[in-house]
């Protein structure tokens, strides 16, 4: 049954792919992409309420009851509690010049993570919470923190935890710089790369909900909403690009550099596609 369903799903998705592929000379239409994208996942997972997609492969209607109950017991008393508390402490510790991270962010950095990433139209660069944290440090005379893990992940996790439950609110790409970042991120997501010739979409869209060895593949809808995430494999928190790098390596594709324009454009595209989902970060993942 499952094979037949997946074949019809592949047929259905290749029909749906058409509006998503930008033909040469045509204007990108993120709103239309988002609508088609949501419809695809609604049809693929009819038993999953929209908000549940924030829980990835542990969402109702996607994960097995056993996996969901294990995830729930981990979330009951999460191992990342200490890291988030450390992140809060680091966030509130003043720099040598007396200022704090709060001075670099709107609302003092509290309850704003759902608005990231955004595109700085002057520089054309995608600004993520992580780049914003390091930009704040450099603005105040400090060296940037190393990407991917450690203090940076802890501070980012704290900031996202203050947005718990708030809907992802990335501004719809409309300026030339925003559309360029969006299109680049989208292209990276759908392009096959590396020795195994796999694309992100291949697994996370077209085989989402199916098994990859013992694990259920998480759907693209909501994929980034649980980050920074605590992965049991890492025994610690990691930012979204820590996962991008790991996943690229797993598919034998050369990873890009942490917080490179490629990964930031990808993060921008993926977060926009998860607009409306409630932030639930950090989360435990295997």
Partner 1 sequence: MSNTIRTRAMLNGDIAKIMALINHPMSLKIVNGKTIPLNFIEQVKAEINGKQVFLADWSAAISKNPFLAFKVKGAKAGDSVKLSWNDNKGKSGSTEFKIS
Provide the binding-site residues for partner 1, judged by CB under 8 A. 76-79, 81-82, 235
Nearest alpha-carbon partner for 84 in 146, 155, 150: 155
Backbone conformation region of residue 26, classed left if phi is above 0, alpha if psi is from -120 to 50, else beta: beta
Beta carbon of residue 229, minimum distance to partner 1 (angstroms, whole number): 16
For residue 162, cis peptide bond before it (omega within 30 degrees of 0): no
Q: Shortest approach of partner 1 to residue 76 CB, angstroms?
A: 8
CB of 249 to partner 1, least distance (A): 17
79 versus 246: smaller Cβ distance to partner 1: 79
Least distance CB 77 / partner 1 (angstroms): 5
Catalytic residue selected from 104, 136, 203, 247: 247
Q: Pull the structure tokens for residue 104.
A: 């670099």
Query: Please, which residue, 46 or 235, has the CB nearer to partner 1?
Result: 235
Confirm whether 247 is a catalytic residue.
Answer: yes
Q: Which is nearer to partner 1, 61 or 78 (CB)?
A: 78
Q: Is 211 helix (H, G, I), strand (E, B) or coil?
A: strand
DSSP state at residue 109: G
Q: Is 125 exposed, middle or buried (0-12, 13-18, 19+ CB in 10 A)?
A: middle
Minimum CB distance to partner 1, residue 208 (Å): 30
Q: Helices 240-250 and 261-273: crossing angle, nearest 10°? A: 100
Question: What are the C-alpha distances in Å from 240 to residues 67, 231, 254?
Answer: 22, 11, 17
- Determine the Cα–Cα distance for residues 48 and 42; give it in Å rounded to an integer: 8
Q: In the complex with partner 1, which residue's Cβ is closer, 113 or 153? A: 153
> How much of the chain is in helix, strand and coil states, percent to nearest 5?
50, 10, 40
**Which of 91, 272 has the CB closer to partner 1?**
91
Q: Considering Cα of 213, then 256, then 112, then 158, what sign does the dihedral take?
A: positive
Give the residue numbers annotated as catalytic, written as ranges.
247
């Amino acid at each position: 049954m499952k094979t037949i369903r997946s074949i019809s799903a592949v047929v259905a998705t290749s029909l749906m792919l058409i509006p998503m592929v930008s033909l040469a000379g045509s204007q990108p239409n993120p709103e239309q992409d988002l609508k088609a994208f949501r419809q695809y996942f609604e049809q693929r997972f009819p038993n999953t309420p929209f908000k549940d997609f924030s829980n990835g492969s542990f969402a109702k209607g996607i994960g097995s009851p056993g996996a969901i109950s294990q995830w729930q017991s981990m979330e009951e008393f999460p191992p990342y509690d200490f890291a988030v508390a450390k992140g809060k402490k680091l966030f509130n510790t003043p720099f040598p010049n007396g200022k704090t991270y709060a001075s670099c962010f709107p609302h003092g950095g509290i309850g704003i993570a759902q608005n990231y990433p955004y595109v700085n139209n002057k520089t054309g660069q995608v600004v993520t919470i992580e780049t914003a944290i390091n930009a704040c440090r450099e603005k105040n005379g400090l060296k940037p923190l190393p990407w991917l893990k450690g203090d940076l992940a802890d501070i980012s996790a704290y900031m996202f935890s203050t947005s718990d439950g708030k809907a992802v609110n990335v501004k719809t790409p409309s300026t030339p710089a925003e559309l360029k970042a969006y299109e680049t991120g989208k292209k990276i997501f759908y392009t096959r790369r590396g020795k195994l010739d796999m694309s992100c979409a291949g697994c996370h869209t077209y085989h989402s909900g199916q098994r990859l060895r013992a694990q259920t593949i998480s759907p693209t809808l909501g994929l980034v909403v649980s980050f920074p995430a605590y992965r049991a494999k890492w025994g610690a928190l990691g930012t979204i690009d820590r996962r991008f790098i790991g996943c690229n390596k797993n598919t034998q594709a050369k990873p890009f550099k942490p917080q490179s324009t490629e990964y930031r454009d990808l993060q921008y595209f993926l977060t926009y596609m998860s607009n409306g989902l409630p932030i639930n970060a950090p989360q435990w993942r295997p």
